[in-house]
Structure 1
Amino acid sequence: MTSRSRILPRRWFFTDSRLGDAVREAIARLPKDVGVIVRVPSLTRDRDLARRLVAACRRRGLVVLLAGPPALALRLGADGAHLPEREARRGSGRRPKAGFRLTAAAHSRAALVRAGRLGVDGAFLSPVFPTRSHPGARTLGPCRFGLLTRGLRPALPVLALGGMDARAARRLAPLRPYGWGAIDAWVRG
């Protein structure tokens, strides 16, 4: 494990605006060691919502990343940014300041390799299991997750996403993911 992985929580809540007030309620109940990735439908149209969610996380002392451009994440007061796979593919993940956390989405081995080369602090590989947010999507399952993450150079902390909760994380434990992220696991309480 690289030293860069130590700055990331091992468990994450991904916000989903379709859940309405349940998102704020989940943030209010999250354990202090859970990070939050704030996602909104449109960073142009929903910037105020993103700002309020980031502020709610900051008040609770939670690590919070904005899904979007690093410069906007910095302006909104987030601790870092979460890049979509296409942004990591373009290499557009410059850190605006030291200590700024950066993660990336990945759906393939090639995306994991690119994220590692970009120098992100971690990559969320998905979907591992069936998930309500992407119904019918082809999932990786534990075997494929393990194959995609084995022997990455440079070493990259990989977090599981998609159908994850504490039980699913225990299923993946032999594969040694760095951590996991979820929506429903935190909303259900």
Structure 2
Amino acid sequence: MRRRQPGKSALPRIWLISDARNDAQLERSIARLSHGSGLVFRHYHLPPEARRARFDRLAKLIRRRGGVIVLAGDARMARRWRADGYYGAPGGGAANGLIGLLTVHDMRELAHAHASAADRAAALISPVFATRTHPGGMALGVARFASLARLSQLPVVALGGMTRRRSLQIAAITTGWAAIDGLSA
């Protein structure tokens, strides 16, 4: 199967996802990303003011590298923060012009993503492999991930236990991949 292509504006192929466990090395990790990569800013562990200050700092760094920053939250919040997009469950509100990374774990969520997607949306399907984010949780595995990816009407980004080597296993059916540990310095 040919690799899916996003709409008018190409989405980054590689996405670094922020987390409490990689926060201390994010600046180094961003510096190591290829030009034009994306950063998904979560930082749920920080209080609101500190979270906003950290977002602003990292936004400058990723944009200097020609990349984009997507905020965990809805489209309205992403606009207020001047993010390039939002990350979360499908149905995050009007997203015209924003990138929407819609989290998908099963067929029901994929259908919901299709119904609520804007023109710059992608299905972030996870977890492909076992991950430290959800210890002991069920991973989709390559076959189940591939089944969901082939049914997607949206570009597909793989998440969950991803590394550069593992991304090669699924490269033909994805637009990109995302990681916390797999891209942290």
TM category, shorter: 0.7 to 0.9
Quick one: which amino acid aligns to residue 49 of structure 1?
R
Q: CA deviation at 1:2?
A: 5.8
Identity of aligned residues (%): 37
Stretch of structure 1 that moved more, 66-75 or 44-53: 44-53
Partner of 1:8: 11
Deviation at 1:9, TM superposition (A): 1.1
Shift in CA distance, 70/25, structure 1 to aligned 2, threshold 3 Å? same
How far did residue 150 of structure 1 move? 2.6
- Indicate whether 1:60 and 2:62 are aligned: no
Task: Show the counterpart of 2:34.
Answer: 31
| Amino acid of the structure 1 residue aligned with 2:157 | L
- 1:164 matched residue in structure 2: 162
Q: TM-score, normalised by structure 2?
A: 0.86
Question: Which segments of 5 or more consecutive residues in structure 1 lack a partner in the other structure?
Answer: none
Are residue 75 (structure 1) and residue 80 (structure 2) matched?
yes
Rounded Cα–Cα distance in structure 2 between residues aligned with 1:5 and 1:157: 12
- Which portions of structure 1, spanning 4 or more consecutive aligned residues, are displaced by more than 6 angstroms? none
Residues 60-102 of structure 1: per-residue CA shift (max 9 Å, x gap): 321111111222222222111112x2xx2xx23312xx42211
- Unaligned 5+ runs, structure 2: none
Alpha-carbon contact 2:129-2:160 (below 8 Å) kept = yes
Mapping 1:1-189, distance limit 5 Å:
1=4, 3-4=6-7, 6-41=9-44, 44=48, 46-83=51-88, 85=89, 88=90, 91-95=91-95, 98-120=96-118, 121-152=121-152, 155-174=153-172, 176-188=173-185
TM-score calculated relative to the size of structure 1? 0.84
RMSD: 2.0
Structure with more relative contact order (C-alpha pairs < 8 Å, separation 6 or more)? 2
User: Structure 1 75/166 Cα, relative in aligned 2: closer, same or farther at 3 Å?
Assistant: same
